[in-house]
């Protein structure tokens, strides 16, 4: 029998949870909708309450359905262990609150998900944690920003929503030299397009609400990394902050993993065609997509990503008003936040996902009032392009 680490990513995802049910031998992982678990005796209960390695004691800490999800995502990311959370925000918050304490400093890239930015810029400083917000694609700036108190470095690539690509290997090289823990938000790529662990990252975070789930019907977040660190985050953070995943949502994430590979291929194929269409359209000012040769980090994206993803952003000539008119008149493309679903979704980052990032900071990071974000779904791409073409005629 092949070692599980010798299996392809596609096979690992497809067989998720098929060895969990010992009672009835069901092929799919059961949904263990229980709060707690019976103990054989007092010692057994005491051991389980100390560590899930001895067995489950309470679903806030561990659950058999959730275990199947955690272990599979860890394998897909080429690392040892994982922890599932109720949301991506819960995952990032628990990571920070577990690893940082008063007097510590963190470095966060200047273009991150708005909730991550708010956590590090507004919430953590109340508890004595200082945050430096910089462009992590500039190694000189990164080197100059690091101090003896810097403990954690957070970034995502490609970035939300500007699609900036950051050199993971280079950033991790600098961080490791100074003993800094690195965490990459890999949501936009999923494990099938990019594996930051293989490029030197310590912890990978996913908002599994997006591509891992893939159907827009469950919230979730996941952290993966070395077992020692995951054990610390589980016992100190998850156990005491309580942002645990629902077993039912874990089941839905497992379902999503089984088709993640083929969905990502279709997302990428559709996005390439739409990006090419928009880049040539006379009413489009600019298209931001790593798969385009015009993207400033196109060569870097080719180096560290297997494909270029299902997200793009663009600016319509005419600015904010033109962008609003476009979004309000689309039919096949749906106006909604989130991403990575079967439906093509468009949103306006400045007023929706990033509205509470100060305007000056948004614009400095490339999030203009005219920027439109588009998450390509699984529709026939010709229908999506026709929808865009017809709507652009109105502008």
pLDDT at 355 (0 to 100): 65
Query: Is residue 281 located within the same domain as residue 324?
Result: yes
Among 205, 232, 257, identify where a domain stops: 257
Residues 211 and 282 in one domain: no
What pLDDT is recorded for position 289?
98
Decide: 332 and 270 in contact? Cβ < 8 Å.
no
Give the per-residue pLDDT at 18: 77
pLDDT exceeds 60 at position 1: no
Got the DSSP string for 218-261? ---EEEEE-HHHHHHIIIIIIHHH--BPPHHHHHHHHHHHTTHH
Give the mean pLDDT of 82-92. Answer: 98
Is residue 48 located within the same domain as residue 12? yes
Residues 3-44: pLDDT tens digits?
A: 555 789 999 998 887 776 777 888 888 999 999 999 999 999
pLDDT digit string (tens) for 134-182?
Answer: 999 999 999 999 999 999 999 999 998 899 999 999 999 999 999 999 9
Mean pLDDT throughout 259-282?
98
Q: What average pLDDT does this structure show over 326-333?
A: 95
Distance between CA 230 and CA 96 in Å, rounded?
A: 13
Instruction: Please state the pTM of the whole predicted model.
Output: 0.94
Which domain-ending residue is among 257, 286, 320?
A: 257
pLDDT value at 46 more than 50 = yes
The pLDDT assigned to 367 comes to: 74
Q: Which residue is listed with tokens 């614009």? A: 363
pLDDT tens readout for residues 342-389: 999 999 887 777 666 777 777 666 777 778 999 999 999 999 999 999
Domains identified in the chain, total number: 2
User: What CATH number does the domain containing 360 carry?
Assistant: 3.90.1150.10
> Could you say which of 222, 257, 292 is where a domain stops?
257
Query: Do 193 and 289 share a structural domain?
Result: no
In a shared domain, residues 225 and 334: no
* Shared-domain flag, residues 283 and 249: no
pLDDT in tens, 211-258: 999 999 999 999 999 999 999 999 999 999 999 999 999 999 999 999
Residue 325, helix vs strand vs coil: helix
Q: Do 326 and 240 share a structural domain?
A: no
The reply to whether 195 and 293 lie within a common domain is no
The CATH number given to whatever domain includes residue 60 is 3.40.640.10
Are 250 and 366 members of one domain?
no
pLDDT at 81: 98
- The beta-carbon contacts of 264-267 under 8 Å, at least 24 apart in sequence, are 264/190, 264/192, 264/193, 264/211, 264/307, 264/310, 265/307, 266/378, 267/211, 267/309, 267/310, 267/340, 267/376, 267/377, 267/378
Residue with tokens 């096979």: 11
CA–CA dist 120, 157 (Å, integer): 18
**Domain limits for position 8:** 4-257
Average pLDDT, the chain: 94
Pick the most confident of 25-34, 55-64, 313-322.
55-64
DSSP H/E element including 375: strand 371-375
For residue 36, the model assigns a pLDDT of 95
User: Which pLDDT score is estimated for 356?
Assistant: 66
Counting residues of the chain whose pLDDT is more than 70, the rounded percentage is 97
Same domain flag for 283 and 228: no
């Amino acid at each position: 029998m092949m070692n599980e680490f010798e299996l392809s990513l596609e096979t690992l995802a497809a067989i998720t949870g098929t060895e969990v049910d010992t009672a009835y031998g069901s092929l799919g992982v059961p949904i263990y909708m229980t709060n707690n678990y019976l103990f054989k005796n007092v010692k057994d209960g005491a051991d389980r309450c100390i560590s899930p390695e001895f067995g489950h004691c309470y679903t806030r800490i561990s659950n058999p359905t959730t275990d199947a999800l955690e272990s599979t995502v860890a394998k897909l990311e080429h690392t040892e262990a994982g922890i599932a959370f109720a949301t991506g925000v819960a995952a990032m918050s628990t990571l920070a609150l577990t690893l940082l304490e008063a007097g510590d400093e963190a470095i966060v890239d200047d273009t991150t998900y708005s909730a991550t930015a708010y956590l590090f810029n507004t919430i953590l400083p109340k508890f004595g944690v200082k945050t430096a917000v910089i462009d992590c694609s500039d190694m000189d700036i990164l080197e100059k920003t690091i101090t003896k108190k810097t403990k954690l470095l957070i970034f995502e690539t490609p970035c939300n929503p500007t699609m900036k690509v950051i050199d993971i290997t280079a950033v991790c090289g600098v961080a490791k030299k100074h003993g800094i823990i690195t965490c990459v938000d890999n949501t936009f790529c999923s494990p099938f397009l990019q594996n930051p662990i293989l490029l030197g990252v310590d912890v990978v975070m996913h908002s599994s609400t997006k591509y891992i789930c893939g159907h827009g019907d469950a919230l979730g977040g996941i952290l993966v990394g070395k077992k020692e660190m995951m054990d610390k985050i589980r016992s100190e953070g998850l156990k005491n902050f309580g942002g645990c995943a629902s077993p039912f949502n874990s089941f839905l994430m497992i379902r999503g993993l089984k088709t993640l590979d083929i969905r990502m291929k279709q997302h990428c194929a559709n996005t390439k065609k739409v990006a090419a269409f928009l880049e040539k359209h006379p009413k489009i000012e600019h298209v931001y997509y790593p798969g385009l040769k015009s993207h400033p980090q196109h060569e870097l994206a080719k180096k560290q990503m297997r494909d270029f993803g299902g997200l793009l952003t663009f600016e319509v000539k005419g600015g904010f008003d033109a962008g609003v008119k476009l979004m309000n008149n689309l039919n096949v493309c749906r106006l909604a936040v989130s991403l990575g679903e079967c439906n093509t979704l468009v949103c306006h980052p400045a007023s929706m996902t990033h509205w509470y990032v100060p305007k000056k900071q948004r614009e400095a990071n490339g999030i203009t009032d005219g920027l439109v974000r588009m998450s390509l779904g699984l529709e026939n791409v010709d229908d999506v392009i026709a929808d865009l073409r017809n709507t652009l005629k109105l502008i």
